[in-house]
A and B are shown apart, each in its own frame.
Chain A
Amino acid sequence: MNKKAGPMFYVFLALFVFLVMFPFLWVLASSIKPVAELFGDRAFIPFTDNMTLENYESVFVNYPFLKYLWNSLVVSTITTVYAVLVASFAAYAIARLKFKGKTFILGLVLSVSMFPQIATISPIYIVLKNLGLTNSYLGLIIPYTTFTLPLSIWLLVTFFRKIPFDLEEAAKIDGASLMQTYWRVILPLAIPGIFTTAILVFISAWNEFLFALTINTDDAYKTVPVGIAMFEGQFTIPWGEVTAATVIVTVPLVIMVLAFQRKIVSGLTSGAVKE
């Protein structure tokens, strides 16, 4: 850690950042070009003299893109709130209370998080179809539990474990009940961890593709990833709109990542690193 970074290092770093960001930069440059300049000789020139926002306009006018964004927002938010809530009880019990079978439960949670989605889709699809829940928000929120709940429990257990046990003892001595200890002592201290978990769960729900593709086929209930993937026309791909839509989806994520990068990194690496 005390190694000093030389100028060569910064050159390397700049190159690395450029390579990682290049696809986005190119897509951003393409999205403000007139459609005609996306093809032919002008296709390989990143700059244009005729900057335009017509692709962005078209995304909202010719496609139900706003609807897709809204659907994604509703589904991801509800999924996050309920998964984190249910998981926080379970994680608290696993991390702080004494009872038998905890290791087994944690192992079960971890293995469920490794389940391939394709292995659960046929029964889930048939049940949702019979219940008339395909093409509804609930039709996605229910199956999203399969990956959001194990993820939330796994992350929250590591966060709850980091809270010093002395506090709980002190609360107990002062005569607080278990639930009081949870609400008054543990929860306020766990808020940062819960927030981190919520961010990661939200991103995983926002990005989900297979369930969204198969369960909500109606335009009125499609989510953003599926909506963009279906931009494909029968004969041509509307590249102008695709690049504009990609930029619209990426910008909020970039802002979110810039704002919460520390939290996200702590969430991603917790549990993966032995302490």
Chain B
Amino acid sequence: MKPNLMPNNPKPIEAKTKTKSKKKLSERSIGYLLIAPAMILIFVIAIWPVFQSFYYSMFDLRLNNPAKSEAYTSYKVNLHTYLDNYPFLINSLEEEADNATGKTKEELAEIQANLEKIDSELKKDSELKDQYEQVDEKLMVMKPVSEELAVAKLDKEVALDLEKTVDDTTDRVRELKGELENPDDLIGLSSSLSDSVITPNFIGLKHYKENLSDGRMWKAISNTTVFTVISVFAELVIGLAIAILINKAFFGRGLVRATILIPWAIPTAVSAFMWKYLYDGQNGIVAKAFEEIGLFDRMTDLLTSSNGAMFSVIFADVWKTTPYMALLLLAGLQTIPSSLYEAAAIDGASKWKQFLKITLPLLKSSILVALLFRTLDAFRVFDLIYVLTGGGPANSTETISILAYKVMFAQTNFGEGSALSVIVFICVAIISMIYIKFLGRDLLNDK
């Protein structure tokens, strides 16, 4: 312990600096304190899941298969499944042996002995034995068994031995089929017993390897790219044109602004369904109009042909987001001083030249920001396509998010679906890095 040299005699100057530094410190710590809840939430609910997705993507994870419903890195045994089958299997084997004669009887006895041997092997581990007995007790009195209690870690050798013994039993019982009274019962019990062995489902980067060599994944990437590039480009051009045209004082600004906001404000899923009605092959007014003006040969082409479906999806997206784009660009336009245009007009610059030399350069950062957000939104597109075409016909509008969703929730293959969603994440990260590089340079040049 260090003795305090001047416990009761702090100099006044020191006291002053002390309170000052304390105040500074407190502002900083209050700052961290205030951002802490938000940061913790963002970390737990947004950042952790991305890493977890990556972790899951390295496992053969299938929610509908009990032996693969979790990410297992080591061998385990499900004692619930085991004890649901093992005692009955032994009983049945004994009964069959009682009724059998000669060689069959010997064989059955041997099978039973093998199973009992591996059962005692299991119980050698005291911790496992303890768990074994607890589960057994609960099953006896028909009480529910929790997942934690049921699943126990197992040595690799024991697990492989158990698996081999059980598989062996199934094979041998099958061979004896003709000589037994209830062979199907035995086979059923024995194959259920084999489900109790949980083997690690870690498969490394196999999902990525498979996906990267899978035509459907590349088709989805190309669909997403086509959708993103065409719709964002159309939105930018039309949005810019509208923004320039309405960048003036006129009667009814409020009404126009509200009109612009409505498509943006309604749920995408609802607007997608609305367009589905308008595109309908028999009764859709927009489909009818497109047929009349000769854009499509038949009304039904719109949602049932590959090109028609892609066009429909892009058209609906352009309708929904162009107004939003126009709004962002209009806000940018309004920061450009009109004196610039007046000066240019005096110097005899044409409208087109004014657009190229004044509007575009000064609007550049607004355009890039709008493009960044729109590109990322378009690349993640889900609701619109899910409701409008479901990815069809023949996967012609299936984007990468739709594919990942289908693999996860229709096929319940969470491992592969997670791999796909990580691929979406990486694509989005690359796109934003490219934009931010442009934006960053642009912002730096201004200084």
B245, B261, B335: the one contacting A12 at CB < 8 Å is B245
Determine the chain B residues whose CB is within 8 A of the CB of A117 once the complex forms: 380, 382
A86, A105, A246, A265: the one contacting B270 at CB < 8 Å is A246
Determine the chain B residues whose CB is within 8 A of the CB of A108 once the complex forms: 42
Beta-carbon nearest neighbor of B401 in chain A? A118
Determine the chain B residues whose CB is within 8 A of the CB of A272 once the complex forms: 328, 331-332, 366, 369-370, 373
B250 engages A249 (CB within 8 Å): no
Beta-carbon nearest neighbor of A26 in chain B? B285
Determine the chain A residues whose CB is within 8 A of the CB of B285 once the complex forms: 26, 43-44
A115 engages B288 (CB within 8 Å): no
Determine the chain B residues whose CB is within 8 A of the CB of A122 once the complex forms: 49, 52-53, 56, 408, 414, 417-418, 421
Determine the chain A residues whose CB is within 8 A of the CB of B408 once the complex forms: 121-122, 125
Beta-carbon nearest neighbor of B336 in chain A? A1
Determine the chain A residues whose CB is within 8 A of the CB of B263 once the complex forms: 20
Question: Is B327 part of the binding interface, using a Cβ–Cβ cutoff of 8 Å?
Answer: yes
Determine the chain B residues whose CB is within 8 A of the CB of A264 once the complex forms: 261, 265
Give the number of A-B contacts (CB < 8 Å). Answer: 289
A21 engages B425 (CB within 8 Å): no
Question: Is A90 part of the binding interface, using a Cβ–Cβ cutoff of 8 Å?
Answer: yes
Determine the chain B residues whose CB is within 8 A of the CB of A125 once the complex forms: 408
A39 engages B282 (CB within 8 Å): yes
Contact with B along A1-34 (1 / 0, CB 8 A): 1111100011011001100110110110010000
Determine the chain B residues whose CB is within 8 A of the CB of A51 once the complex forms: none
Q: A124-B49, A253-B265 are in contact. Are A114 and B274 (CB under 8 A)?
A: no
B261, B272, B373, B382: the one contacting A265 at CB < 8 Å is B261
Question: Is A111 part of the binding interface, using a Cβ–Cβ cutoff of 8 Å?
Answer: yes
B328 engages A249 (CB within 8 Å): no
Question: Is B343 part of the binding interface, using a Cβ–Cβ cutoff of 8 Å?
Answer: no
A44 engages B38 (CB within 8 Å): no
Majority secondary structure of chain A interface residues (helix, strand, loop or mixed): helix
B421 engages A273 (CB within 8 Å): no
In angstroms, Cα B261 to Cα A236, docked, is 32
Contact with A along B25-42 (1 / 0, CB 8 A): 011101110110111011
Beta-carbon nearest neighbor of A228 in chain B? B270
Counting chain A CB atoms within 10 Å of each CB, the highest count among B266, B418, B425 belongs to: B266
A44 engages B288 (CB within 8 Å): yes
User: Which A245-259 residues sit within 8 Å CB-CB of chain B?
Assistant: 245-246, 249-250, 253-254, 256-258
For this complex, 14 residue pairs linking A to B, each with C-beta atoms less than 8 Å apart, are: A20-B319, A23-B271, A99-B28, A112-B46, A118-B424, A122-B49, A207-B268, A209-B386, A237-B277, A242-B277, A243-B274, A246-B273, A254-B262, A274-B365
Q: Which residues of A contact B (CB under 8 A)?
A: 1-5, 9-10, 12-13, 16-17, 20-21, 23-24, 26-27, 30, 38-40, 43-44, 86-87, 89-90, 92-94, 97-100, 105, 108-109, 111-112, 114-126, 142-143, 145-146, 149-150, 153, 178, 203, 206-207, 209-210, 213-214, 224-226, 228-229, 231, 237, 239, 242-243, 245-246, 249-250, 253-254, 256-258, 261, 264-265, 268-269, 272-275
